[in-house]
Amino acid sequence: MSTLPYERALVTGASTGIGAATSRVLAAERLEVLAVARREERLAALAAETGCRILAVDIRAADAMADAIADFKPQVVVNNAGVGHGITGLGGVDAGDIAEAIAINVTAPIQITAAAVAVMKREGLRGHVVNMGSISGLHTLVSSLYGAGKAAVHGFSQTLRVEVKGFPIRVTEICPGRVSSEFYDAAKGDKATLAKMASTGISELRPDDIASAILFALKAPLHVNISTIELLPTEQAVGGAMATPIPQL
């Protein structure tokens, strides 16, 4: 039996990084975990390690995800999968990259949540939706595309709480700063800038840190909804204003 007030959890982007770490933590808490990602070989290794169930699918496949959710009936949904296309700015990304970023970072999590919340309501389940936001969705940083997607996640998370009022469903948004992961390896943008951005020289957050934050929200007393968690490395801060001269102005 689970040590949490839930029995089943669906985690997207589970083949690596935060998603894999979260799957491990939830499996250790004796939840039945459905780990979702595209890379089947990595999922298989995770299943061998944790005993979780796996689903190798692109989260943009709305019908496949809806069918899996209807069958699995998750009480916890961790919308973690995402891409960093355009993190270097709009230069170096084309229309296809932009569409893919919005589809993966915004549309798919909303579709997954809609399917899961419908099941929770229909089955009378206690539920918890955890959306992976970013400090880029809360603060003005360097990327308009990535920031816009994560700002949409923030607005969605806040308003979803209004939609589920009257049901035992909690909603949490996790907003990390820099995390050591494969994020920059998979991102699309200016390659030289991506290479520079990939190394900060600081002690970044680890995927386990984010998994611990998720677990903290899940373990809160049932009358408590941890709405938003913003966490950064000690050596990272956001804020301030920029003033950049324009010679031809």
Query: Which tokens sit at 205?
Result: 């957050």
Q: Given 6, 72, 146, 156, which residue is catalytic? A: 146
Tell me if residue 6 is catalytic: no
* SS3 sequence of the chain: CCCCCCCEEEEECCCCHHHHHHHHHHHHCCCEEEEEECCHHHHHHHHHHHCCEEEECCCCCHHHHHHHHHHHCCCEEEECCCCCCCCCCCCCCCHHHHHHHHHHHHHHHHHHHHHHHHHHHHHCCCEEEEEECCHHHCCCCCCHHHHHHHHHHHHHHHHHHHHCCCCCEEEEEEEECCECCCHHHHCCCCHHHHHHHCCCCCCCECHHHHHHHHHHHHHCCCCCCCCEEEECCCCCCCCCCCCCCCCCC
Query: Which tokens sit at 232?
Result: 């950064």
93-117: b or e for each residue (b if 16 or more CB lie within 10 Å)? beeebbebbbbbbbbbbebbbebbb
Rounded to a whole number of angstroms, the CA Rg of the chain reads 18
Q: How far apart are CA 78 and CA 8, in angstroms?
A: 11
Q: Which residues are catalytic?
A: 146
